[in-house]
Structure 1
C-alpha cells in the first residue's frame, strides 16, 4: 500500500487539484493551493473509505489536512493499529 500515492489520487478528484496534483510536493500547503473546508470534509470521507479507517475527533483539524505529508502521517497512525 502506497499511502502517499493513494492520497494524491484522491486529491486529483478534487476540483481544486485536478491536473496539478503531480506538481505538489509532500509539504505544500493544500489550503494555500485551494483546499477549503468543504473540500477537506470530502477528502476526509474519501480517505476513510479508501483506507477503511475513521478519523477520531483529535485528528479532525486543519493541521491534519494541511499537506500530503500531514495526511499521510495521520492515515498511517490509523492504519497501523489495525494491521497489528
Structure 2
C-alpha cells in the first residue's frame, strides 16, 4: 500500500517514536507513540490540512490502529487527486 508523502508528513508530526517517514502501512500507531491526546490533534490536523471531516462513526480504534488503516479511511474522504505525491 502506497501512502502519500503529504499524509506521512502530517502523521509523522504525531508519532514521537517514529524516526522518519519510513514507517510502513502495517506499523502500529500506538507503538509509534500515538496516544489519545495525539489522536485528537492528528484528527484536527488531517481535517484542516486535507479539507475533510471524519464522521464520528469512523473515529474508531480500528481506523487509528495502523498507518494503513488510517490512510485507507482518509483516502476515501478526500477529493480525487488531493494526494498526487504517492
Q: Could you state the TM-score of these two structures normalised by the residue count of structure 1?
A: 0.78
Conservation of the 8 A alpha-carbon contact between 1:26 and 1:69: yes
Q: Distance in 2 between matches of 1:15 and 1:70?
A: 15
SS of the aligned residue for 1:14 comes to coil
Question: Against the structure 1 CA distance between its residues 67 and 4, is the aligned structure 2 distance closer, same or farther, given a 3 Å change threshold?
Answer: farther
RMSD: 2.4
Which range moved further: 62-71 or 6-15?
A: 6-15
Q: Could you state the TM-score of these two structures normalised by the residue count of structure 2?
A: 0.76
Give the Å deviation of 1:14. 2.4
**Runs of 4+ that moved beyond 6 A:** none
Count of residue pairs the alignment pairs up: 80
